[in-house]
Structure formats: structure tokens, C-alpha cells
Amino acid sequence: MLDLLTGIISLLLTVMILSYLLGDNPAFRLAAHIFVGVSAGYVAVIAWNQVLLPRLFRPLLVGGTLDPMLIVPLMLGVLLLAKLSPRTAALGSPALAIMVGVGAAVAVSGAIFGTLFPQVWAVIRAFDITSVRSQTGNTTGVLGEALIMLLATVSSLVYLQFGARKTPAGPQRGKLIRILASIGQVFIAMTFGVIFAGVLAAAMTAFIERLSFLINFVSQFL
């Protein structure tokens, strides 16, 4: 009985989501609100059980003594709740500013140490001819790939560089910079295309899985 009820609810939600193919409608909006609500509730439960309770509230009193190091995050959390009311929203601004600053620092450091430095190191290793020859024996082909990788990395970084020199006609980039930026734009467009293709493939996979579920579920009663 529970499996039947779960299947019926899944069937209804799937049909409500797929109704968006006919245009925006109340059924799709209701399913979207249910999805957002369930996701928010799940995140709240995970945050309470795996972060707040074991790392903040339980360690606040360790052996009957108050841990002063945990008072700061507790106070920041309480101040953040003040953002719920327009009258007290200013009290939560410092806590929100700290969150944004820490998030920006984590994002920047992640981009540098997780993307930029590994990419540079990969380009450097690609030109290690001795290692390439011992591993593959095809120096020419691997060297060509290394040159393309170097060109893609340098041109993409140049495209994201917005410096310009003052000229009588206004700020202008150098000719070499403009050429490299144009090449980098092509590589960035190719990257976005690959990402979009991956997202589209994942969406089509989920769509096919949902259609298969609908067909299998309905066929059980036919």
C-alpha cells in the first residue's frame, strides 16, 4: 500500500512538472513550490543534525564549562536572525557581511588553488618532453596538444583581462592583446558549449527516466 501511494504521488508530481511543456500553469508552479519546500526542509534538517547541534550547541557546555570560542558564532547566528524583521535588519548586517566576505574568500581561493594553479601546472607538465616520450612515445602529437592547451589557457586569461591604454580615440587594447582575446573568446565559447551540452544531456536523461517511470507505472494497471 505504501509503494502504491508513493508511486501515485510520484506520478502526479511527474505529470505536474512535465505540464510545463504546455506552458506555465498552476500545476507546475505547485510542483515547483513543493520541490523548493522539500529541498529547504531537507537542508535545514541536515544543517541542524550535522552542523549546529554537534558543532555548536553540544560543545557549548563541555564538562559543565562554557566554551568561549563558540560564543562568537552563536552571537553571529542570533544577529543573523534579526534580518527577518525590517526594524532589526541592521543588527544582522555585520553577520551577513562576514558571511559574504568569507564566502568570497573561499570562492577566490578555490578558483586560484583549485582551477588556475592546476591548469598552469598541467600546461607546464605537458611540455615535459622526456616524460611524454617515455610514457607515450608520440612526442609530436602530445607536443601539439600541449601547444593548444597553452594557447587556450593564455588566450582565455587575456580575454578576462580588462586593462587598456589611453589613446586619442579612447581606451584601447594593444593589437596582440586583442588577437589573443579573440582567440580566448572562441575557447571560452567552446567551453560553454560543452557545459551546455552536458547539462542538456543530463536533463534529457532525467526526462527519459521520468517517461520510463510513467510508462512502467501505468502499464502495471493495464
Report pLDDT digits (tens) over 136-150: 556 666 677 778 888
Report pLDDT digits (tens) over 63-102: 556 677 788 888 888 888 888 888 888 888 888 899 999 9
CA–CA separation, 91 vs 75, rounded Å?
11
First to last CA, the chain: 18
User: Is residue 121 included in any domain, yes or no?
Assistant: no
Instruction: Examine the domain organization and report whether 77 and 47 are in the same domain.
Output: no
Q: Under a CB-based contact definition with an 8 Å cutoff, are residues 13 and 31 in contact? A: yes
Pick the last residue of a domain from 66, 85, 105. 66
Does residue 61 sit in helix, strand or coil? strand
The predicted model gives 145-167 an average pLDDT of 81
User: Is residue 180 included in any domain, yes or no?
Assistant: yes
C-beta contacts of 203-210 below 8 A and 24+ residues apart: 210/14, 210/17, 210/18
User: Is residue 176 included in any domain, yes or no?
Assistant: yes
Which of 143, 123, 122, 121 lies closest to 132, judged by CA? 143
Domain count, the chain: 3
Share the mean pLDDT of the chain.
Answer: 83
CA–CA separation, 175 vs 190, rounded Å?
23
User: Is residue 32 included in any domain, yes or no?
Assistant: yes
Instruction: Examine the domain organization and report whether 188 and 171 are in the same domain.
Output: yes
Write down the pLDDT at residue 188: 92
Instruction: Examine the domain organization and report whether 99 and 22 are in the same domain.
Output: no
Instruction: Examine the domain organization and report whether 61 and 73 are in the same domain.
Output: no
Instruction: Examine the domain organization and report whether 38 and 84 are in the same domain.
Output: no
Does residue 74 sit in helix, strand or coil? helix
In 32-126 the beta strands, taken as DSSP E runs, fall at: 61-62, 65-66
Instruction: Examine the domain organization and report whether 52 and 138 are in the same domain.
Output: no
How long is the chain? Answer: 222
Instruction: Examine the domain organization and report whether 154 and 217 are in the same domain.
Output: yes
Show the domain range for 15.
Answer: 1-66
User: Is residue 100 included in any domain, yes or no?
Assistant: yes
Write down the pLDDT at residue 131: 63
Instruction: Examine the domain organization and report whether 16 and 51 are in the same domain.
Output: yes
User: Is residue 122 included in any domain, yes or no?
Assistant: no
Instruction: Examine the domain organization and report whether 216 and 139 are in the same domain.
Output: yes
CA–CA separation, 17 vs 36, rounded Å?
13
Does residue 65 sit in helix, strand or coil? strand
Beta-bridged to residue 172, according to DSSP, are 165
At a CB cut-off of 8 Å and minimum separation 6, what does 214 contact? 11, 14, 15
Q: How far is CA 68 from the centre of its chain?
A: 35
Instruction: Examine the domain organization and report whether 217 and 141 are in the same domain.
Output: yes
Instruction: Examine the domain organization and report whether 165 and 107 are in the same domain.
Output: no
The amino acid sitting at 206 is: A
Please tell me which residue, 222 or 49, carries the higher pLDDT value.
49
Write down the pLDDT at residue 45: 95
Instruction: Examine the domain organization and report whether 85 and 145 are in the same domain.
Output: no
